[in-house]
Every structure is written in structure tokens, then in C-alpha cells.
Structure 1
Amino acid sequence: MVTRVPGWLLRHRIAVEPYLGDSAYGPRYGARVQDVPALVAAVRTQVRDAEGREVLATAQIIAAPDLHCPPGSRVTLPDGRTATAISSASHTAPGLPVPASLEVMCG
């Protein structure tokens, strides 16, 4: 039974700086995690951000379910562009032969 998205499907590499919150000096980020396996697709779709506003997402990332990438995180995409995570959704199907994954929409 498949429990998580297979690594051989994650053909791209990204870097993630997890958003930790705001400080008096602006947003705070955790340590940069390099060489994260992911599947990245260029998209142009409307998604809702953490405040419920509709914003344009330009990248969809599928990664292992244990990736820590909350909304607001900085993501360096395979083409070198830095994007901001708009939303992240954990996909699971306990008991079914479907791989668990994390989907991150970036703008």
C-alpha cells in the first residue's frame, strides 16, 4: 500500500524558508531547507489566502506530506524565482491506496 507520494515522482528541487510570524521588524522565517524534492507546475489560478482574499497563484507544488511550508513561507522554485506560499493543504486518504502529499499554492 502506498502511504506517501513516491520520491521518484518528485522531479524538481525547491528551497523553503518556513514563515514563523511577524516581528517588530517584519516577517520572520525559519532556517532555509535546501534541495526539497517536489513536483512544480506553472499555473494561473485564483485561490484564497489566509485572510480569505482571492489572489492569483502562479505555481503549484506537490511535496511529501511532512514538508513544513505554512502560508507566508518563502519558496525558491526550480527556475530560481522566489515565491510566497499562499495556501497549503494536506491530502490524505487513510486506508486507501492513495499517496499522502502536501499541496502548496504560491504567488
Structure 2
Amino acid sequence: MTRVPPWLLRHRVTIEPYVGDSAYGPQYGPPVPDVPAMVAEQVRTVRDREGREVISTAQVITAPDTHCPAESRITLPSGRRTRALSAAHHTAPGLPVPESLEVMCE
């Protein structure tokens, strides 16, 4: 398994993984600080986990084993807090391309 090279992951983000809803609203796991990532803060139209077209204002690429389900809270290097709209694992078994996790953020 070829992973995305660590030298490409120049930014650091904090991820609070979404664990579900309760009577008091969304629940999150403990924050995971200093997660290596590559962040692009640009506007894109994407589909969320339910298939609706939404606007993503930041895209985060991390190592393939990073735990960041949709609805997780993410603190970007700029200090802005955002929500994960969708998370996609990129794999290519047998091909010489790196595996990664791409998270589209609100």
C-alpha cells in the first residue's frame, strides 16, 4: 500500500470525529490535534453524503487511516472551524499512486 507522502501534508488540522446524534444534538469524539493534512480553501460544488448538491469551501487530504466521518468538526490551519460534508477514500490497488482520504468541508 502506497500512502500519500508525509512531506506533502504540510498543514495541521484538528479533527473531532462525529459519533452520532443525541437528544442534545450532534456528539463528537475527543479532538485529535495536529493531524497532518494538505488543505485547499477554495469554493467547489460537491455532493454531500445524502446526494444533495452543496458548496464546499475547503478540501482536506490526509493519510488513508485518518478517522474523519461525514459531519465531523474540523479546525483548519487558519483557525476556522468547519464541518465535514463527505469523506472519500482514494485507493488504487496495484497501481503506483498514493492512497489518501479526501474530506470535503462546509
Looking at structure 2, the residues matched to 51 and 80 of structure 1 have their Cα atoms a distance apart, in angstroms, of: 28
Q: For structure 1, which runs of at least 5 residues remain unmatched after alignment?
A: none
Taking only the aligned residue pairs, the percentage that are identical comes to 68
Partner of 1:43, secondary structure, is coil
Matched, 1:24 2:39: no
Q: Deviations over 1:62-102 (max 9, x none)?
A: 10000011110000000000000000000001111100000
Give the corresponding residue for 1:6. 5
Give the corresponding residue for 2:54. 55
CA shift, 1:15, in A, is 0.2
Looking at structure 2, the residues matched to 20 and 78 of structure 1 have their Cα atoms a distance apart, in angstroms, of: 23
Give the corresponding residue for 2:72. 73
Looking at structure 1, the residues matched to 91 and 49 of structure 2 have their Cα atoms a distance apart, in angstroms, of: 21
Q: For structure 2, which runs of at least 5 residues remain unmatched after alignment?
A: none
Q: Which amino acid aligns with 1:48?
A: R
Partner of 1:36, secondary structure, is strand
Q: Which amino acid aligns with 2:58?
A: A
Number of equivalenced pairs: 106
CA shift, 1:51, in A, is 2.2
Where in structure 2 are the equivalents of 1:35-54 lying within 5 Å?
Answer: 35-54=34-53
Question: Runs in 1 of length 4+ with deviation above 3 angstroms?
Answer: none
The root-mean-square deviation of aligned C-alpha atoms, in Å, is 0.9
- Superposition TM-score, scaled by structure 1 size: 0.96
Looking at structure 2, the residues matched to 31 and 9 of structure 1 have their Cα atoms a distance apart, in angstroms, of: 26
- Superposition TM-score, scaled by structure 2 size: 0.97
Q: Deviations over 1:15-51 (max 9, x none)?
A: 0000011001100001100000000001111111122
CA shift, 1:53, in A, is 1.7
Partner of 2:43, secondary structure, is strand
